[in-house]
Amino acid sequence: MLVLMHRCIGLTTALFLTLAGLTGSVIAFNRELDALLNPAFYAATASGPMLSPEALAAKVEARDPLLSVWSISLEPMAGGAVEVRAMAREGKPSADWFSLDPVSGEILGTRVWGACCLSRAHLIPFLYNFHHSLSLPGALGVLVMGIVALFWLLDSFIGAALTFPLGRPFFRKWRTAFTIKGGSAFRLNLDWHRAAGLWLFAVLMVLAVSSIAMNLRTQVFEPVVQLFSPLTPTPFAAPLPPQPLPRSLSYDVVLARAQVEAHARGWHLPPTYLFYSPAFGLFGVRFGSGEDMMTSPWLYLDGRTAAPMGEVIPGAGTAGDTFLQLQFPIHSGRLAGLPGRILIAVMGLVVAGLSITGVAIWWMKRAARRKRRSGQVRTPSGGAGA
């Protein structure tokens, strides 16, 4: 039964995991690769003080009156440009991502984030979006990839169980499953598939769990975590307003209020990101670098009054809160800086390799069974890819 389950789940998820692994390897360095492909987007040259958030938003909204800016990065990217995101008040925008010179407000680059496909301007955002949701509309792709992650987690345990020896001594016999002996194409694929899955089992489990956290957070991840530790409610847990609330406050007013509140809380970090969510009627301000997510607190303010509505401080709160906060930094590799991102890039290739070798093992065994039925050869034996 385990062999049958492993075969069915593996074949069903192989294509999804191959694509997720390959795209994940690329987007581990998405900002650096995008800067190589589109250097003009990142080349801010003006000197002087940075424009205020409201002034930056006005530069974008003046370009298209149907646009409403919903997020502004106050932390310059490589090259000194800042990122501004917008949404259309109606219809589809001609662009929703903007790179601006923070001093002059000059728009250095525009694009529709996640739009297909292979142009220099759209390649990296497309791969980023495809990795997360297969570029399917709405929440469909997110749900599909979340379900794939659930099956991946289950199938990894099944695959590990299939490597257990039937005889004793257990550990001496099991040790051979960790080695690559090579030989025929079938043997090489089987050994690589089995050994890589065993040696990297813990890392693969962490990636599968973090995938579930990001794609099925409210449906699966949070309910499971709350079985072991309570989660502190955030402002986003409150009931949604009946209708989206258009932004009525200046970003400058909100930022000034946020800085006062941050100082009162003893946060001696610069504000680096600012957003407004019409669906929730909330502003959010991050203090500290986005590269160091576990030391950057967030403050949330009411969209109509700028009154503080809550905060999220990484590492504070319950064990469940911290475990939840760790998932994206782990999945992206940013928790460990450059070495972490290199590891994630390598693991993306490993995930793709495990899927491809699993399918190759099944195909070769299938072909061998057909030949055996015709009396030509014996079926290759053993292995988790049976």
What's the rounded mean pLDDT across residues 334-356? 96
Over 90: is that where the pLDDT of 291 sits?
Answer: no
> Among 69-78, 184-193, 233-242, which is the least confidently predicted range?
233-242
Tell which wins on pLDDT, 291 or 56. 56
Query: Which residue, among 338, 360, 358, 340, has the nearest Cα to 350 in the 3D structure?
Result: 358
Instruction: Assess whether pLDDT exceeds 50 at residue 386.
Output: no
Residue 379 in this model has a pLDDT that exceeds 60: no
302, 238 Cβ separation under 8 angstroms: no
Give start-end residues of each CATH 3.10.450 domain in the chain: 236-314
Under the banding of pLDDT at 50, 70 and 90, the label for residue 385 is: very low
Task: Measure the CA–CA gap between 371 and 222, rounded to whole angstroms.
Answer: 49
Q: pLDDT, tens digit, for every residue of 270-290?
A: 999 999 999 999 999 999 998
Residues 351-362 have a mean pLDDT of 96
Name the pLDDT band for 91 (thresholds 50, 70, 90). confident
- Whether 220 shows a pLDDT value over 80: the answer reads yes
What does the pLDDT average to over 9-31?
97
pLDDT at residue 382 is higher than 60 = no
Q: So what's the pLDDT on residue 247? A: 95
Mean pLDDT for 96-125 is 94
HEC string of the chain? Answer: CHHHHHHHHHHHHHHHHHHHHHHHHHHCCHHHHHHHHCHHHHECCCCCCCCCHHHHHHHHHHHCCCEEEEEEECCCCCCECEEEEEEECCCCCCCCEEEECCCCCCEEEEECCCCCCCCCCCHHHHHHHHHHHCCCCCCHHHHHHHHHHHHHHHHHHHHHHHCCCCCCCHHHHHHHHHCCCCCCHHHHHHHHHHHHHHHCHHHHHHHHHHHHHHHCHHHHHHHHHCCCCCCCCCHHHCCCCCCCCCCCCCHHHHHHHHHHHHHHCCCCCCEEEEEEECCCCEEEEEECCCCCHHHCCEEEEECCCCCEEEEECCCCCCHHHHHHHHHHHHHHCHHHHHHHHHHHHHHHHHHHHHHHHHHHHHHHHHHHHHHHHCCCCCCCCCCCCC
Structure pTM?
A: 0.90
pLDDT recorded at residue 380: 59
Model pLDDT for residues 175-216, shown as the tens digit of each residue: 999 999 878 899 999 999 999 999 999 999 999 999 999 999
* 74 has a pLDDT exceeding 70: yes
pLDDT digits (tens, 9 = 90+) for 359-370: 999 999 999 888
Residue 377 pLDDT: 53
> Chain-wide mean pLDDT for the chain?
93
State CA 260 to chain mean position distance.
32
At the top level of CATH, the class of 236-314 is alpha beta
